[in-house]
Amino acid sequence: MPWWVATRERTLLSESNSHPTGAVAAADAEVELVPATHPSEKRTFGELLTSDLRALPVIIGLVALWIFFILQNDVFLTPRNLSNLLIQSTVVGVMALGLMFVLLVKEIDLSVAAINGVTAVLMAKLIVEFGASPWVAIPLAIVVGALIGCVSARWVTFVGVPSFVVTLGLGLGLNGLQLILLPTTARYGLMGTSVETIALAKIDGLAAWGVLAIGVGLYGLLVLSSIVRRRRAGLSVSMVKGLALPLVGVTLFGAVVVAILNAHQGIPVVTLVFSALLGLGGYVLNETQFGLHLYAVGNNDEAARRAGIKVSRVKMAAFAIAGGISAIAGVIGASRSLGVGVFSGGGVGGGTLLLECIAAAVIGGVSLFGGRGSIHAPLLGSLVIGSVQNGLNLMGVHDEIRLIVTGLLLVLAVSIDKLIEKFTGQQSF
Amino acid sequence: MSEPMAAVAGRPNEAASQAPLISMRDIRKSYGSVHALRGASLDVLPGEVVALVGDNGAGKSTLVKVMAGVIGFDSGDYLLEGQPAKIRTPADATALGIQTVYQDLSLCNNLDAVQNLFLGRELTGPRWFGRRVRRAECEVRAREVLARMRLGSLSLTRPVGAMSGGQRQNIAIARSILWTPKVVIFDEPTAALSHSAAAQVAALIRSLADDGLGVVVVSHDIHHFVVNSTDRIEVMRLGGNVASFRSKDVTGEQVVNAMVGGNEGANLAV
């Protein structure tokens, strides 16, 4: 029995299609059907730009930025500076990664920076005042971040208040809570608590290559298992395009990065954390049912609901992920600044941290209107923002210029996206 | 006139001998003081395409929404294969074999055909592995269904938002029959389609009935689709049934007359 013959004997599209009145036999008698040509999967360049090659403009932009900075300053391309650049981009990148889950389901979380700040302060308070181990305080901070995300999601889906409003208000509230949690000195120093070593720790030498090998190995297994399944199912498989090309690409890219980082102390642990989150996020978004449902809900939540997807649960998970990841970014931020204070989480209102993590996601290609954006977005977006900051810094240009440039790049990135859609006549998804 | 309808429709061996898949009797539904349905009835027979027509506000959409579990009803009987149907949500209806192809198609434009076909019912791996979607398996099954619908030329990897209206309609239909339903409800299937695409959809709908499904079609396309491509026409007005025709016996004008209350359809009713 074929798979689709579940309950009824006489069923549509069953083996009985040899029957003269079988399902489709009647169809061609009446109308001329579209000739059954072979599936044409060949795409024009314009079509590719709106699908598989959507990241290309951002990558070109990033390369252009780098060339500009390299021409301006000899220091930019040194391993030491590139290592710094990566560390500088981490907090914004991690935040953008978390925020992306919320943006994918057509919501927004304006409280991510506040979650970052309040959970960092909570962690520091537990460690400094209550003598908790970082092994307890850090996971607790992450859980609290996720719970805060759940609360906003519940409010959004149950009460029906737009997430923009809920999280704006919640963010301000959390800012207040952050100030309350702080001691009268308005600061918890984290020196000597071993939290401060997170941002400084690096994995170098052979260990760094080992880490790369593990990463590439996991990725290879994933790609290989897809190929094996396709082959077993009798579907066409391209060994070059499906297996060799992505694997070689990832290996080469990883090898270059590790080589550069090894030339200056090794892979920063925070970069490793970001990479691991990117890998995990990529798996979730591209491979799992939950990832698929995120895209479905973001594009057409009514269709998702009719298909039996529990939309509010998917949204809650997205908010929880954003909250939890913001807390991770908070820990990294606290470690980098060797302590927490009013400034944690970008300061009151989220400051540039909030704006930059939204900007990073959008520059990377995540749509604010849901259902669109890939895992490379937070990486590319945060690298663009981090490069501008780092490069202009090296040139001795002040912060105000950096803000102007970042703002212009944000608008430029979205404009290029729109122009590609306009000129190719293809809508990107 | 006493002749069984299905026999007239040309499938004496099927519809005539079989009990209705769905039987709705005297269904009433009010929204506050608005009576959307005032005792509407409809039988859905296997192997038959029944058109539900009526002017705006006649209650046909409300009736199919009740049938699909989107809304509840106040009183009346809703029998599924002779038993009272326990349908409270669209998911209940789907589980009981009642599929709906909505007018807006309910597709996710950013997903491809395979993902849309299996949306919400993906074949997945184990939970501890994050329920990884078994893409290859889904794709094989999708290919089989599409091939049997003569839709083998559809791209399985392009987002459906980049496809034509006819292709999207076809994907929505393929999704409705993927899990072997008993009844498929179509809401305005030919609206917004070109003439040739509409003809293709009509042929597909006919093929479903030929394979023994009950098909309900809500349509405004009286003169082309309803008169030519259905077996029976139920006319609704003001929340109730006003006329019933065998499609091959009537002209579009007669149906429209009944819809707007011209001659009550009395002398033409079956």
Domains and CATH numbers, chain A: 55-204+265-424 (1.10.3470)
Please give the single-letter amino acid code of residue A408.
L
Q: Taking 80 as the threshold, does the pLDDT of residue B257 lie above it? A: yes
Picking from B111, B207, B224 by the largest number of A CB atoms within 10 A of its own CB, the best residue to mutate is B207
Taken in order B152, B153, B159, B160, is the CA torsion positive or negative?
negative
Is the Cβ–Cβ distance between A380 and A58 less than 8 Å? yes
Which of A48-52, A160-164, A345-349, B41-45 bottoms out in mean pLDDT, i.e. has the lowest? A48-52
B151 to chain A, minimum CA–CA distance in Å? Answer: 7
* Beta strand extents in B132-239 (DSSP E only): 183-187, 214-218, 232-237
Mean pLDDT of B47-59: 92
Provide the b/e sequence for B238-267 (b: ≥16 CB within 10 Å). bbbbbbbbbbeebeeebbbbbbeeeeebee
- Give the pLDDT score at A100: 97
> Among B132, B156, B182, whose Cβ lies nearest the Cβ of A287?
B132
A328 to chain B, minimum CA–CA distance in Å? Answer: 21
More confident residue, B201 or A14: B201
- Give the pLDDT score at A183: 93
- Give the pLDDT score at A7: 36
Please give the single-letter amino acid code of residue A79.
P
- Give the pLDDT score at B150: 83
CA B202 – CA A71 distance, rounded (Å): 65
Tokens of A227: 């190929």
Direct distance between the N- and C-terminal alpha carbons of chain A, in angstroms, rounded to an integer: 38
Vertex A151 angle, CA A147 and A154, to 5°: 130
Residue appearing with tokens 């809900």: A297
> What is each CA distance from B193 to B146, B164, B166, in whole angstroms?
20, 9, 6
A300·B108 Cβ contact <8 A:
yes
Tokens of B196: 């040739």
pLDDT band of residue A37 (cuts 50, 70, 90) is very low
Residue appearing with tokens 């995990």: A280
Other beta carbons less than 10 A from residue A180's beta carbon: 9
- Give the pLDDT score at A30: 38
Q: Taking 60 as the threshold, does the pLDDT of residue A12 lie above it? A: no
DSSP state of B124: B
pLDDT band of residue B1 (cuts 50, 70, 90) is very low
* Mean pLDDT, rounded, of chain A: 88
Please give the single-letter amino acid code of residue A308.
G
> What is each CA distance from A240 to A45, A51, A248, A282, in whole angstroms?
20, 20, 10, 21
Q: What is the pLDDT of residues A254-298, one digit of tens each?
A: 999 999 999 999 999 999 999 999 999 999 999 999 999 999 999
Tokens of B185: 């409800």
CA B27 – CA B78 distance, rounded (Å): 8
Does residue B100 sit in helix, strand or coil? strand
* Chain A residues inside the 8 Å CB shell of B212: 10-12
State how far Cα A90 lies from the chain centre: 12
pLDDT band of residue A41 (cuts 50, 70, 90) is low
Tokens of A381: 């977006």
More confident residue, B261 or A143: A143
Q: Which CATH superfamily is domain B1-97+181-270 in?
A: P-loop containing nucleotide triphosphate hydrolases (3.40.50.300)
- Give the pLDDT score at A55: 87
Is the Cβ–Cβ distance between A292 and B115 less than 8 Å? yes
Is the Cβ–Cβ distance between A210 and A360 less than 8 Å? no
State how far Cα A362 lies from the chain centre: 11
More confident residue, B3 or A58: A58
For residue B78, give every residue at least 6 positions away whose Cβ sits within 8 Å of its Cβ, in sequence order, or none: B22, B23, B24, B27, B66, B67, B84, B85, B87
More confident residue, B51 or A49: B51
- Give the pLDDT score at A13: 38
* Chain B residues inside the 8 Å CB shell of A106: none
Q: What is the pLDDT of residues A88-108, one digit of tens each?
A: 999 999 999 999 999 999 999
Q: What are phi and psi of B48, to 5 degrees?
A: -130, 140
Q: Taking 50 as the threshold, does the pLDDT of residue B111 lie above it? A: yes
Q: Taking 60 as the threshold, does the pLDDT of residue B263 lie above it? A: no
* Long-range contact pairs involving B246-249 (C-beta distance under 8 Å, separation at least 24): B246/B5, B246/B8, B246/B9, B246/B270, B247/B9, B247/B51, B248/B8, B248/B9, B249/B8
* Chain B residues inside the 8 Å CB shell of A31: 196, 199-200, 202-203
Helix, strand, coil percentages (3-state) for chain A, rounded to 5, are: 70, 5, 30
- Give the pLDDT score at B56: 86
Does residue A427 sit in helix, strand or coil? coil
Q: Is A287 on the interface with B (CB under 8 A)?
A: yes
Q: What is the pLDDT of residues B222-253, one digit of tens each?
A: 988 998 999 999 999 999 999 999 998 898 88
Nearest residue on chain B to A22, judged by CA atoms? B211
Q: Is B123 on the interface with A (CB under 8 A)?
A: no
Q: How many residues belong to chain B?
A: 270
> Among A37, A233, A308, whose Cβ lies nearest the Cβ of B136?
A233
Q: Taking 70 as the threshold, does the pLDDT of residue B262 lie above it? A: no
CA dihedral A33, A39, A44, A47 (to 10 degrees): 90
A303·B108 Cβ contact <8 A:
yes
Nearest residue on chain B to A280, judged by CA atoms? B130
- Give the pLDDT score at A238: 83
Instruction: List, by residue range, all CATH 3.40.50.300 domains of chain B.
Output: 1-97+181-270
DSSP string, A331-352: HHHHHHTTEEETTGGGSTT-HH
- A339: number of CA atoms within 13 Å, CB side? 13
Is the Cβ–Cβ distance between A5 and A14 less than 8 Å? yes
By DSSP bridging, strand B214-218 and strand B183-187 are: parallel
* Beta strand extents in A197-328 (DSSP E only): 202-203, 267-268
More confident residue, B130 or A31: B130
Percent of chain A's residues with pLDDT above 70 = 90
Q: Taking 80 as the threshold, does the pLDDT of residue A22 lie above it? A: no
Residues 10-69 of B with CB under 8 A from A: none
Q: Which of A239-243, A417-421, B96-100 has the highest mean predicted lDDT (pLDDT)?
A: B96-100
Is the Cβ–Cβ distance between B108 and A299 less than 8 Å? yes
CA B155 – CA A40 distance, rounded (Å): 7
Q: What is the ipTM of this complex?
A: 0.85
Direct distance between the N- and C-terminal alpha carbons of chain B, in angstroms, rounded to an integer: 6
State how far Cα A106 lies from the chain centre: 15
- Give the pLDDT score at A21: 37
Q: Taking 80 as the threshold, does the pLDDT of residue B270 lie above it? A: no
Is the Cβ–Cβ distance between B48 and B15 less than 8 Å? yes
Nearest residue on chain A to B179, judged by CA atoms? A4
A6·B90 Cβ contact <8 A:
no
pLDDT band of residue A40 (cuts 50, 70, 90) is very low
* Chain B residues inside the 8 Å CB shell of A371: 108-110
CA A323 – CA A109 distance, rounded (Å): 9
Q: Is A52 on the interface with B (CB under 8 A)?
A: no
* Chain A residues inside the 8 Å CB shell of B203: 26-28, 30-31, 33
Residue appearing with tokens 């019933």: B244
- Give the pLDDT score at B261: 79
* Mean pLDDT, rounded, of chain B: 86
CA A265 – CA A358 distance, rounded (Å): 31
Label residue A306 left, alpha or beta by phi (over 0 means left) and psi (-120 to 50 means alpha): alpha
pLDDT band of residue A428 (cuts 50, 70, 90) is confident
Is the Cβ–Cβ distance between A318 and A373 less than 8 Å? no
- Give the pLDDT score at A180: 95
pLDDT band of residue B70 (cuts 50, 70, 90) is confident
Q: How many CB pairs under 8 A join A and B?
A: 197
- Give the pLDDT score at B7: 36
